[in-house]
């Protein structure tokens, strides 16, 4: 990624550069991984997610990308925010977009939808980040970018077992925080 970081810092984001193609392919792989765990009929496709994330990264690009970890962390954060915004729009439309509620006495409701879970995780993730930044980075990369433990370990320059341990603890922390906020 060192070459990509240099390219990002030097380029204007030209789409005809070979580095852009490689970077785009990596971002697309992350987006495909993330979209694979989304529910079917998703309003957003992986390509749209990558394009929207790229546009947001271009708007908020720092003067210089420090390293690969900073870039992919920013990409994961951009994808997270896009997915949450999409989920919120879908839930608003699903709930009638301001229409009057109908009583549903006696109706059994299914478990929380994927959109609700996504928003729930998003809402407590900032609290986790304030408490433990590494765990929050791992959650963002794992849950919102779909990276596996090995990829996260390489990106954050830590041992793969450390990533697994922090992921397990972060999942427990998130579960408790989401239960408490209900």
| Angle at alpha carbon of residue 23, lines to 18 and 28, rounded to 5° | 125
Does the pTM exceed 0.75?
Answer: no
Q: What would the two tokens of residue 44 be? A: 């957003």
One-character DSSP codes across 92-160: HHHTTTTPPP---TTPPPPSPPHHHHHHHHHHHHHHHHHH-HHHHHHHIIIIIT---HHHHHHHHTS-H
Q: Write down the domain spans for the chain.
A: 2-97+111-180
**How far apart (Å, rounded) are the C-alpha atoms in residues 63 and 121?**
30
Residues written for the chain? 182
pLDDT tens digits along 46-100: 888 888 888 888 887 666 778 888 888 888 888 888 888 888 887 776 655 555 5
Q: What would the two tokens of residue 136 be? A: 């929050």
Select from 174, 113, 111, 115 the least CA-distant residue to 140: 174
pLDDT tens digits along 125-162: 989 999 999 999 999 888 877 788 999 999 999 999 99
């Amino acid at each position: 990624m060192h070459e990509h970081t240099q390219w990002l810092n030097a380029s204007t984001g030209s789409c005809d550069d070979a580095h852009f193609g490689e970077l785009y392919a990596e971002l697309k792989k992350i987006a495909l991984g993330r979209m694979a765990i989304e529910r079917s009929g998703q309003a957003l496709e992986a390509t749209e997610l990558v394009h929207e994330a790229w546009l947001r990264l271009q708007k908020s690009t720092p003067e210089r990308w420090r390293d690969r970890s900073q870039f992919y962390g920013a990409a994961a954060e951009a994808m997270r925010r896009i997915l949450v915004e999409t989920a919120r729009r879908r839930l608003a439309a699903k709930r009638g977009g301001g229409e009057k509620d109908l009583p549903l006495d006696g109706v059994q409701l299914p478990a929380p939808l994927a959109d609700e879970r996504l928003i729930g995780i998003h809402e407590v993730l900032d609290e986790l980040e304030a408490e433990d930044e590494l765990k929050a980075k791992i959650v963002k990369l794992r849950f919102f970018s779909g990276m596996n433990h090995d990829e996260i370990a390489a990106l954050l320059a830590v041992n793969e077992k450390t990533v697994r341990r922090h992921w397990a603890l972060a999942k427990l922390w998130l579960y408790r925080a989401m239960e408490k906020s209900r």
